[in-house]
Amino acid sequence: MKIYLIQRLAQMLVILLGVLMLTFVLSRILPGSPVEMMLGHRPSPEQIEAVRTELGLDKPIAMQFMVYLKGLAQGDLGTSLHTGQPVTSDLFNRFGATFELTTIALLLVVVMGIPLGVVSAVRQNTLSDHLVRSGSIAGMALPVFLIAMLLQMLFYGQLGWFPLQGRINAEIALDYPFAQRTGLYLVDTLLAGQWPAFKSAVLHLVLPVFTLVMASIAVVTRITRNTMVEVLQQDHIRTLQAYGVSRRRIYYRYALKATLIPLLTVIGLAYGYMLGGSVVVEFIFDWPGMGGYAVGGITRNDFPAVMGVTLLLAVIYLSMNLVIDLLYHLVDPRLELP
């Protein structure tokens, strides 16, 4: 186990280095200059050169990258060219919003997607099966931004049930203040005992969360269904049926357990997909998380911000994959760690 963990951590470092190198080079060679955006309209050549020197942009790309890695080794992700704050501080302030959004969405995907897949599998070729399969196809076909806008038009524009943007109503936050201890508004408002603020935070979560859920649940549902169908046709399941074991026990104790390995893989991929999809969702819903920060960094050529978000998302995704691999062995000890 120790050797495996060391090998995986080494692989993660190599992958992170490759991701950073690619992102760094692309951020430097793509059109647009952060210098001109910082200086405003028609800066003089002297002003441009002075800022380029201050930012180190006058040096070769390879040397710039080495300077960045040196700072990274010391825990310095640089300073955002837009906010003027350390990127580490910006990410810390925004990470809670993204984590709260994606984690709740993932939990709902698991809680809803797996039972739907089971129902579809045990009721093959029935109305329930056709509805679940059709919904899955629609969920995979619709792009995230379209799902988000449809939900906004229906539940905000037509019905007025949920707020359009943000994490909490500004007036409620002022009337019922709470300390942001964790960055997770649901947790912080509960700790402060501010129920109106908690309710507002829940309402603001509904639309962005269900946008991510609808975009991701289809894959989990289809994999659960297809795997369950294969397992239910195996000989040992038929033997259990012949011995009079109840269907419910067969479905949830034996058949579903056999689907856990592929399900763990899909859940890990779904979380990675949510992290990527959250960039679009946060931008549309004006959600103050890392996604909006990343979009702002890209549009403003804020190199340090883009690099910081890329690094953090890559670390989360790689860590999730490592956890999934370890869970494989936990679910089925017969599986050897690669």
The string of DSSP letters for 222-289 reads HHHHHHHHHHHTSHHHHHHHHTT--HHHIIIIIIHHHTHHHHHHHHHHHHHHHHHHHHHHHHHTT-TT
State the pLDDT at residue 337: 56
Are 308 and 87 in contact, with CB atoms under 8 Å apart?
Answer: yes
31/45 Cα distance (integer angstroms): 18
**C-alpha to C-alpha distance for 165 and 285, rounded to whole angstroms:** 5
Q: Are residues 69 and 98 in the same domain?
A: no
- Residues 38 and 121 both lie in one domain: no
- Domain containing 282 — which CATH number? 1.10.3720.10
Claim to verify: residue 10 and residue 116 sit in the same structural domain: no
Residues 327 and 198 grouped into a single domain: yes
Angle at alpha carbon of residue 100, lines to 107 and 178, rounded to 5°: 135
State how many domains the chain has: 2
Classify residue 338: in a domain, yes or no: no
Q: What is the pLDDT of residue 313?
A: 84
On average, the pLDDT of the chain sits at: 82
Residue 185 lies in a domain: yes
Other CB atoms within 10 A of residue 299 CB: 12
283 and 298 in contact (C-beta within 8 Å)? no
Query: Are residues 114 and 41 both part of a single domain?
Result: no
Place of tokens 């943000």: 166
- The reply to whether 41 and 190 lie within a common domain is no
Residue 150 vs residues 15, 134, 142, 153, 211: alpha-carbon distances, Å? 37, 18, 11, 5, 9
Q: CA-based angle 168:171:176, to the nearest 5? A: 80
- For residue 267, the tally of other CB atoms under 10 A from its CB is 23
What residue type is assigned to position 104 of the chain?
I
**Segment holding 189, helix H or strand E:** helix 185-192
At 287-335, the pLDDT tens digits run: 888 888 888 888 777 888 888 888 888 888 888 888 877 777 776 666 5
> How many CB atoms neighbour CB 38 within 10 A?
18
Q: Both 67 and 99 in a single domain?
A: no
CA torsion 249-254-257-258 (nearest 10°) is -150
Which are the contacts of 68, defined by CB distance < 8 A and separation ≥ 6?
20, 24, 78, 307
Examine residue 86 and state whether it is found in any structural domain, yes or no.
no
pTM for this structure? 0.80
**For helices 260-284 and 290-299, angle between their N-to-C axes, nearest 10 degrees:** 60
Residue 79 domain-assigned (yes or no): no
Dihedral-angle region of residue 126 (phi above 0 means left; psi in -120 to 50 means alpha; beta otherwise): beta
Instruction: Give the position of tokens 């002075």.
Output: 50
Residue 50 sits in the same domain as residue 133? no
- Cα–Cα distance list, 309 to 5, 31, 76, 99, 278 (Å): 25, 20, 13, 13, 12
19 shares its domain with 53? yes
Domain that holds residue 59: 2-73
Q: Is the residue at 83 inside a domain?
A: no
Q: Which of 132, 140, 145 is nearest to 226 (CA)?
A: 132
Q: Please give the chain's pLDDT, 338 residues, in tens.
A: 677 778 888 888 899 888 888 888 887 777 666 666 666 667 667 666 776 676 666 777 888 888 888 888 888 888 887 788 888 888 888 888 888 998 999 999 888 888 888 888 878 788 888 888 888 888 778 888 888 889 999 999 888 899 988 888 888 888 888 888 888 889 999 998 889 999 999 999 999 999 988 878 888 888 888 887 887 777 777 777 777 777 777 776 777 777 777 778 888 877 877 777 778 888 888 888 888 888 888 877 788 888 888 888 888 888 888 887 777 777 666 655 55
Structure tokens at 42: 């028609």
Instruction: Examine the domain organization and report whether 99 and 64 are in the same domain.
Output: no
Amino acid occupying residue 138: A
- Helices 260-284 and 87-122, axial angle in degrees (round to 10): 130
Res 40: pLDDT: 63
- Given a contact cutoff of 8 angstroms between Cβ atoms, the answer to whether 295 and 27 are in contact is no
Same domain, 173 and 307: yes
- Do the domain assignments include residue 24? yes
What sign does the dihedral 181-186-190-194 (CA atoms) show? positive
The verdict on 268 and 130 lying in the same domain is yes
> Could you give the CA distance from residue 290 to residue 306 in angstroms, rounded to a whole number?
10
Closest by CA position to 20, among listed 74, 82, 68, 92? 68
